[in-house]
C-alpha cells in the first residue's frame, strides 16, 4: 500500500457567480499523499486566464489536481455511494473512506493544466522536489 492513500470525499459549499447558494457540493477521488492539499505551505502567482486573485495557495492547486474534473454530487449520500464503489473496485486503502470538509467553495475556474503549470513554477522557484501525487476515479 502507498502512504496516505484512501478514497476522499471533498465537501464544499456551492457557489454561483461568487455567492454562496446555501447548498453543498461533494467530489470523490482516490488519492495518495492527500496532505499536499493543506493550505498555508506557500503560494504562487495565479497565471490562470480566469484569475480572481494575484496569488493562489499551493494546497488549493493540489486540490484542483485531485478533484478538478470529477463529478459533483449534490448530497453526501450520492458521494458515499460513489466512494463505496471506488473502494470496492480498488480494494483496501490505508485510510479507507474519508470526508474532507472545507468552508470555502471549490476553485473551479482553474483547469488542471493551469494548476500543474503553476505548481511547476512554484517547485522550480523554491527548489523543492515535486511532491508525489497519484489519483484516479
* Per-residue pLDDT reduced to its tens digit, 65-81: 999 989 999 999 999 99
Q: What is the mean pLDDT of residues 48-66?
A: 78
pLDDT given for residue 52 in this prediction: 61
Q: How confident is the model at residue 133, as a pLDDT?
A: 47
The b-or-e profile of 16-38 (16+ CB within 10 A means b, else e) is eeeeeeeebbbbbbbbbbbebbe
Q: How many residues does the chain have?
A: 137
pLDDT digits (tens, 9 = 90+) for 69-126: 899 999 999 999 999 999 999 988 999 999 999 988 888 888 899 889 888 888 887 7
What per-residue confidence (pLDDT) applies to 55?
A: 76
Query: Looking at the whole model, is its pTM more than 0.95?
Result: no
Task: Give the other-Cβ count within 10 Å of 15's Cβ.
Answer: 16
Domain ranges of the chain: 6-132
Amino acid at each position: 500500500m502507498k502512504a496516505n492513500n484512501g478514497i476522499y470525499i471533498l465537501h464544499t459549499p456551492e457557489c454561483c457567480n461568487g455567492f454562496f447558494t446555501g447548498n453543498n457540493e461533494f467530489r470523490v477521488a482516490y488519492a495518495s499523499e492527500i496532505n499536499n492539499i493543506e493550505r498555508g505551505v506557500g503560494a504562487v502567482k495565479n497565471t490562470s486566464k480566469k484569475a480572481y486573485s494575484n496569488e493562489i495557495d499551493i494546497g488549493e492547486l493540489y486540490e484542483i489536481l485531485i478533484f478538478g474534473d470529477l463529478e459533483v454530487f449534490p448530497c453526501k449520500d450520492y458521494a458515499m455511494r460513489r466512494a463505496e464503489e471506488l473502494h470496492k473496485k480498488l480494494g483496501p486503502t490505508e485510510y479507507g473512506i474519508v470526508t474532507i470538509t472545507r468552508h470555502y467553495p471549490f476553485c473551479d475556474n482553474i483547469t488542471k493544466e493551469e494548476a500543474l503549470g503553476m505548481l511547476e513554477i512554484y517547485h522550480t522557484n523554491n527548489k523543492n522536489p515535486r511532491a508525489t501525487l497519484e489519483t484516479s476515479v
